């Protein structure tokens, strides 16, 4: 994802954003596609790491979130790389950095948030293919081989890139490990920021 700022918000680095937020706690707003969404948790982690307080404005989906930042109704948002790059071309939004630990292959000129001053920050949204519980291991293995083979094709990379997705593939064991890591990471953020399911509308 890319951290984007509305047109006219004069922040280009972690220091500028942090200073502005500390000068007016809760005034700088960010839009997300819902309470408990990856975007919400990613911003919560940014707040915790930087020691700042922002104003969360949840929307029902990505489209209204993007419309809000374009219209200047919220100051910040997280967006897919493809949308952010296309929208930043005419100055409608300003890209601050990607949330991944490394620069995106889809936008190699955009720095990471760690590079602009949020040292060590990393938050990624990912997709995976799952099978029903009890699926025979040989079927899981066969599907894994076929999916990885498809992800390696130019057709797959082109189609996924159009949606702002960078394919990586991997094994069922690697996916299980990623899930465990994310449950641990986001579980701590949810508890520390007191994000509750009861807050969902």
Task: Tell me whether residue 84 is exposed, middle or buried, using C-beta atoms within 10 angstroms of its C-beta: 0 to 12, 13 to 18, 19 or more.
Answer: buried
pLDDT in tens, the chain (201 residues): 999 999 999 898 999 999 999 999 999 999 999 999 999 999 999 999 999 999 999 999 999 999 999 999 999 999 999 899 999 999 999 999 999 999 998 899 999 999 999 999 999 989 999 999 999 999 999 999 999 999 999 999 999 988 888 898 999 999 999 999 999 999 999 999 888 865 554
User: What structural domains and CATH numbers belong to the chain?
Assistant: 2-124 (3.40.190.10)
Q: In degrees, to the nearest 5, what angle opens at C-alpha 17 toward C-alphas 199 and 101?
A: 80
DSSP 8-state class, residue 50: H
Q: What is the DSSP letter of 197?
A: G
Half-sphere exposure of 125 (CA within 13 A, CB side): 19
pTM: 0.88
SS3 content of the chain, % helix, strand, coil (to 5): 45, 10, 45
Q: Of 49, 45, 40, which Cα lies nearest the Cα of 18?
A: 49
């Amino acid at each position: 994802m890319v951290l984007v700022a509305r047109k006219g918000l004069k922040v280009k680095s972690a220091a500028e954003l942090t200073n502005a937020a500390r000068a007016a706690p809760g005034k700088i707003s960010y839009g997300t596609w819902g309470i408990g969404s990856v975007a919400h948790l990613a911003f919560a982690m940014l707040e915790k790491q930087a020691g700042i307080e922002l104003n969360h404005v949840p929307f029902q989906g990505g489209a209204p979130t993007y419309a809000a930042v374009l219209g200047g109704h919220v100051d910040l948002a997280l967006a897919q790389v493809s949308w952010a790059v296309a929208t930043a071309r005419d100055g409608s939004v300003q890209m601050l950095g990607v949330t991944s630990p490394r620069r995106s292959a889809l936008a190699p000129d955009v720095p990471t948030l760690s590079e602009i001053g949020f040292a060590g920050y990393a938050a990624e949204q990912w997709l995976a293919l799952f099978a029903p519980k009890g699926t025979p291991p040989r079927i899981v293995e066969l599907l894994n081989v076929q999916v990885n083979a498809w992800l390696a094709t130019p057709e797959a990379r082109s189609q996924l890139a159009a949606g702002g997705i960078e394919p990586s593939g991997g094994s069922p064991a690697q996916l299980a490990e990623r899930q465990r890591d994310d449950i641990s990471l986001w579980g701590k953020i949810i508890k520390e920021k007191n994000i509750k399911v009861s807050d969902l509308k």
